Amino acid sequence: MFQIIKMIVQRLGLGLLTLFVVSLIIFLGVELLPGDLAEAILGQSATPETVAAFRRELKLDLPMHERYIEWLLGILQGDLGKSLANGREISELVGVRFSNTIFLAIVAAVISVPIAVILGVLAALYRNSLYDRMVNVFTLTSISFPEFFVAYILILFFAVEWNIFPSLSNVNPNMGFFEHVYRVALPALTLTLVVIAHMMRMTRAAIINLLASPYIEMANLKGISRSRIIVHHALPNALAPIINVIVLNLAYLIVGVVVVEVVFVYPGLGQLLVDSVSKRDIPVVQASCMIFAATYILLNLTADVLSIVTNPRLLHPK
């Protein structure tokens, strides 16, 4: 137990260090953008005096390192600043949008995780069969296409041709749960088709790798059915890599939804990030990137911890 706690503390420290490096990259990336932010916001008709006053208001006249320290201290205190586009608190803007992104990721995970695990177990059970090859071809085909292409194909059939789901996922807080699920069906299905192949293939590979173990051979010699061997003996011991890949794909479902949200005009954090970039609303862009980075790092930490909890031998790699 002490070793697990020690490992969690080490991973947390490494995650905080990574987040600090990411914050530097985000801040420097924004600083290196071409053009003057004050002039871009005020327009070409602004007088030099107005631009100078606006720069002082945004604290752009301060040295870069002072602005970075002030921005980082504000984030640590929970103050994300105000939006340049509408003057609203960024925490207020981001809160609703991020909850929408989390909801979309959860719906996609509820669909994709059981399907991927079941397909992976069946592919291992019927290895090298026609079913195994068909599943591999289908999943590899779906993951080979970019998200926006899959999204437009789904819109063409499910929204235009068959008129089953709406093409635009316009949701609001007053909407009921089932209505919300209905609205996010197409973006959730798009994300499912993108991530299901990776999870399914990792499940299949983990189980097939364990089928060569001595205790599996002993179970075969005892005459135990192949399905029972996989479900009751191989699958529990393959949980560590399966959980790891599932959590990492959950991180992708949350962080990698930008393109999908833009295609379906879904009011999530990814859509907010794209809108803020087009408006040069730099504080919102920085806050959104930091939230995505923190979420990804936290889920990676969760994947490490769950892998070790399900397989304590990983604490002793030798």
Task: Tell me: do 178 and 49 sit in the same domain.
Answer: no
> Could you say which DSSP state residue 274 is in?
H
Residue 85 belongs to some domain of the structure: no
- pLDDT tier at 205 (50, 70, 90 boundaries)? confident
- pLDDT tier at 1 (50, 70, 90 boundaries)? low
Residue 72 belongs to some domain of the structure: no
CA distances from 35 to 13, 44, 55, 280 (A): 37, 12, 13, 11
Stretch among 13-27, 32-46, 85-99, 268-282 having the lowest mean pLDDT = 32-46
Most confidently predicted of 40-44, 146-150, 234-238: 146-150
Residue 18 belongs to some domain of the structure: yes
Name the more confident of 170 and 280: 170
Helices then strands, each counted (H, E), the chain: 16, 0
Tokens of 120: 């992976």
Task: Tell me: do 119 and 191 sit in the same domain.
Answer: yes
Residue 272 belongs to some domain of the structure: yes
Task: Tell me: do 97 and 55 sit in the same domain.
Answer: no
Tokens of 245: 């890949």
Residue 81 belongs to some domain of the structure: no
| CB-CB contact of 272 with 94 (8 Å) | yes
Residue 69 belongs to some domain of the structure: no
Residue 78 belongs to some domain of the structure: no
- pLDDT tier at 61 (50, 70, 90 boundaries)? confident
Provide the residue range defining the domain that includes 141: 90-315
- pLDDT tier at 315 (50, 70, 90 boundaries)? low
Task: From 26, 48, 64, give the residue that closes a domain.
Answer: 64
- pLDDT tier at 314 (50, 70, 90 boundaries)? low
Percent share of the chain, pLDDT over 70: 95
Burial (Cβ within 10 Å: 0-12, 13-18, ≥19) of residue 266 = buried
Domain containing residue 161: CATH number: 1.10.3720.10
What does the pLDDT average to over 45-61? 77
Task: Tell me: do 143 and 206 sit in the same domain.
Answer: yes
pTM value is: 0.85
Task: Tell me: do 255 and 292 sit in the same domain.
Answer: yes
CA distances from 231 to 162, 225, 239, 306 (A): 39, 10, 11, 20
* Count of domains for the chain: 2
Question: DSSP secondary structure string, 44-111?
Answer: TT--HHHHHHHHHHTTTTS-HHHHHHHHHHHHHTT---B-TTT--BHHHHHHHHHHHHHHHHHHHHHH
Stretch among 1-5, 100-104, 113-117, 118-122 having the lowest mean pLDDT = 1-5
- pLDDT tier at 106 (50, 70, 90 boundaries)? very high
Task: Tell me: do 179 and 281 sit in the same domain.
Answer: yes
Name the more confident of 54 and 219: 219
Task: Tell me: do 267 and 138 sit in the same domain.
Answer: yes
Name the more confident of 236 and 223: 223
Task: Tell me: do 104 and 27 sit in the same domain.
Answer: no
Task: Tell me: do 237 and 179 sit in the same domain.
Answer: yes
Task: Tell me: do 118 and 245 sit in the same domain.
Answer: yes
Task: Tell me: do 144 and 227 sit in the same domain.
Answer: yes
Task: Tell me: do 16 and 142 sit in the same domain.
Answer: no
Residue 84 belongs to some domain of the structure: no
